[in-house]
């Protein structure tokens, strides 16, 4: 017996397995079926935008960006994590900022939210927040504690 591991009798082990083996990894199809079943039971309707939301200023989201925003919202509403990934320059920053705007203006969750980005993109993110959804308050945290206090 390995140190630190409890010894389980054979009949107890079978009992545990009959309750359910939580180490079993479900297939993608099983997960999808569960999500579809849960979403059909859900009474709340997920917000879907047809056009650029009114809280987005300075410009409009393109159709594919609106679809991306709707996808991010549906992930949030269903408690699912996701990664928004596509070619460079297609508006992932804007879609992410738009999701945070949705959280503030439609779900009444103003934050705080944390966006972690490479140091080289910090200033771009700050200007994008101010440009696209100026109602969101953004703070840039860079450097150690002493550097942040002095800036």
Note the pLDDT tens digit of each residue in 102-126. Answer: 999 999 999 999 999 999 999 999 9
pTM comes to 0.68
Note the pLDDT tens digit of each residue in 62-108. Answer: 999 999 999 999 999 988 888 888 888 788 999 999 999 999 999 99
Mean pLDDT of the chain: 83
User: What DSSP letter does each residue of 50-95 carry, written as one string?
Assistant: SS--TT--SS---HHHHHHHHHHHHHHHTT-------STTS-HHHH
Burial of residue 98, with CB atoms counted within 10 A of its CB: 0-12 exposed, 13-18 middle, 19 or more buried: buried
């Amino acid at each position: 017996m390995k140190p630190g591991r409890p010894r389980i009798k054979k009949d107890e082990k079978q009992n545990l397995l009959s309750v359910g083996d939580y180490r079993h990894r479900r297939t993608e199809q099983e997960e999808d079926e569960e999500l579809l079943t849960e979403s059909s039971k859900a009474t709340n309707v997920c917000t879907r935008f047809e056009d650029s939301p009114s809280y987005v200023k300075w410009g409009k989201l393109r159709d594919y960006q609106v679809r991306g925003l709707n996808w991010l919202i549906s992930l949030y509403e269903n408690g699912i994590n996701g990664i928004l990934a596509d070619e460079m320059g297609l508006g992932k920053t804007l879609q992410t900022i738009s999701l945070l705007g949705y959280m503030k203006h439609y779900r009444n969750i103003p934050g705080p939210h944390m966006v972690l980005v490479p140091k080289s993109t910090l200033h771009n993110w700050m200007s994008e927040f101010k440009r696209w959804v100026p109602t969101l308050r953004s703070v840039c945290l860079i450097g150690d504690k002493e550097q942040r206090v002095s800036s």
